A = this chain, B = another copy of it.
Amino acid sequence: MPATDLDELVGRAREGQPRAVARLISLVEDSSPRVADIARLLTPYTGNARVIGLTGPPGVGKSTSTSALLTALRSAGRRVGVLAIDPSSPFSGGALLGDRIRMTEHATDPGVFIRSMATRGHLGGLSWATPQAVRVLDAASFDVVLIETVGVGQSEVDVVKLADTTVVLLAPGMGDGIQAAKAGVLEIADVFVVNKADRDGAEATVHDLKQMISLARRELRGPSWRQPIVRTIASKGEGATEVVAALDSHHTWLTAHGELARRRSARARDEVEAIALRRLRAELADLRDGDRLTDLADLVVARELDPFAAAEALITDLRGY
């Protein structure tokens, strides 16, 4: 794609044309050789979107909650981009995943953009492609970027690194699920949402969480954010407005305490480092494909060089690029 076409594409994305946004995300997600150019063109228009991470164990009603939250955010007049990350799927692109069909109610709303992203098989996974996609949505003037992870485990941790605010969804009666989630969940959650609040055990879940939060706070020093617990019944849209209010409170707190700048700086550090490491790895791979590594390896086999000295020579070559 010639540079002028890229300029035009970025222009159209900034006007909010969904096809241009989708095309740009496809380009950055597939690590197109133009990904650096795209980032350069987009960067001046970024920094305005609030990035919200939404995670939780399977079965808590994440899709329904995302949909309810979307409705509430739209009622508040905000344009919302959604990135639904599915670490288990090798398929990516504009197509909606099965349980995301419910989101079709937003499909015709020009203030909403929904995108599924697969991370399986992608080098660097979530942590590589997602910040690039967030940048596209940010530059395309979405006020909020919602990153929803379908999975659990590593993706939960990764989503926190990308988000200004992380929402952890729980539901009553999850038994072991909530137990397993507990360990990591307290550290990553800025806002807790207990969905299916009309079900048996909802109050017990809230009570459990309150105790965990109190215990954890005793170990903290300095000013800290008191994680709110919001009860929702996402299937009826109940509580979504309160979730938006909690998100706004957290944003205010983040800004007032310099924590937003700190989080965004940390995020930028992670991203810059990941790009640098990926680039170095690619350069090493080039050397591997070439004769130089083979020549060095043969010297090692011949005992004329030890492998550390050979690695040193390889790095010297890399620096001499």
Contacts and interface: CB of A to CB of B under 8 A. Distances in A.
Interface of A: 35-36, 39-40, 42-44, 46-47, 131, 261, 264-266, 268-269, 271-273, 275-277, 279-281, 284, 288, 293-294, 296-298, 300-301, 303, 305-312, 314-315, 318-319, 321
Copies of this subunit: 2
B40 A264 contact: no
B298 A39 contact: no
Contacts of A35: 308
Contacts of A36: 306, 308-309
Given A268-B301, A269-B288, A297-B265, A276 B309 contact: no
A315 B297 CA distance: 25
23 contacts: A36-B308, A36-B309, A39-B306, A43-B300, A43-B305, A44-B303, A46-B303, A47-B303, A266-B297, A268-B296, A268-B310, A269-B297, A272-B293, A272-B307, A272-B311, A273-B293, A273-B311, A275-B308, A275-B310, A275-B311, A279-B312, A318-B319, A319-B321
Given A36-B308, A306-B39, A284 B293 contact: no
